Amino acid sequence: MGKGKLFASLLNAAKSSAGPALTSGALTGGLSLLTGSSPLAALGYGLADTLASGASVAGVRALRPGSYSSKKVRNLDTGKIETINKTSRAETPVNILASIGTGALASNVLEPSQSLQIAQQVEQRSLMNRLPLYDQEMMLSPGTQYQMAGLPTQESFQQLLNDQLSSAMSPNTSWMDYLNPQDRQLIQQALG
């Protein structure tokens, strides 16, 4: 008997939570489309949010059946009958948390990871530049799109730093001649 009553309460809560769930899903789908997701990904975000919001609101309404009620009230000014819905204070926070959680989980499924995007862009660049993929990958800093073409290698950059450090220690270098004694002393203290 208790299970049948709970099922009936859950079914009524699911019917009454369709409106808020569809609203939340439409907002999430629209916002994800506006922020740059593909239309298919935005639809996926919207559907996932609709299901999660519907389940969370229906769960709150099933667990607290007296918290949701609809009243029909006659507007004395216009004479029209209006429906006023009373909702639980827990519905909005639960719906927001469900939307945030759904967005975080759905993004792993619907949007490719950054490393996959970088790999796709490197491949696309190699095709456009008619260069072998290996050459394109070697010209990028690992895990980024930062192009290293024309920049010194790490070894040559370290050698350049070592050369500058050793020349900064001797005050007879050409660029040191332009510095006043206080600046020379400051540089030597910083490097030494």
pLDDT single digits (tens) 39-62: 998 899 999 999 998 888 888 877
How does DSSP classify residue 141? -
Range 146-154 average pLDDT: 65
Q: What's the total number of domains in the chain?
A: 3
The reply to whether 29 and 104 lie within a common domain is: yes
Weakest mean pLDDT among 6-10, 60-64, 116-120:
6-10
- Residue that the structure tokens 């030494």 belong to: 192
pLDDT of residue 170: 58
What band does 1 get if pLDDT is binned at 50, 70 and 90?
A: very low
* Token pair listed for 54: 């519907």
The reply to whether 100 and 22 lie within a common domain is: yes
- Residue that the structure tokens 């489309």 belong to: 33
The reply to whether 106 and 11 lie within a common domain is: yes
pTM score over 0.75: no
Residue 60: which of 30, 96, 35 has the closest Cα? 96
* Token pair listed for 167: 């020349």
pLDDT of residue 61: 78
